Amino acid sequence: MHYGQVIKAKRQAQSLSSQKLADILGINRSALCLYETGKRNVSKNHAKIMENYINGRYDIAIRDMLLSNLRKKYEHLTGRKGLEFWE
């Protein structure tokens, strides 16, 4: 498994689109897609960002974003906040 496949597998396990992950990491979506497919080696500028992502340093931010989206979804459906038990 090459470096890009690891990134893609983790992104898919987190149910993130390539655009969403690129936004979180602060990189261009097309660069991320090229890394994932192995068509381009990770640049020096992005190497540390990718390493941090693979090692889980963005996991809390991603979890918080996903929880926020769920809260908004259920607040809209029920008219109340809900999901307090996830705090």
What is the tens place of the pLDDT at every residue in 63-83? 888 888 888 877 766 655 555
Q: How far apart are CA 51 and CA 12, in angstroms?
A: 17
Q: How far apart are CA 34 and CA 49, in angstroms?
A: 15
Total domain count, the chain: 1
Higher-scoring residue by pLDDT: 74, 18: 18
How far are the Cα atoms of 44, 54, 69, 71 from residue 49, in angstroms, in the given order?
Answer: 10, 9, 24, 28
What is the predicted pLDDT for the residue at 1?
76
Q: What is the pLDDT of residues 28-77, one digit of tens each?
A: 999 999 999 999 998 998 999 888 888 998 898 888 888 888 888 777 66
Higher-scoring residue by pLDDT: 84, 68: 68
Query: Under 8 Å CB-to-CB from 14, ≥6 apart: which residues?
Result: 21, 62, 66
Which CATH number covers residue 56? Answer: 1.10.260.40
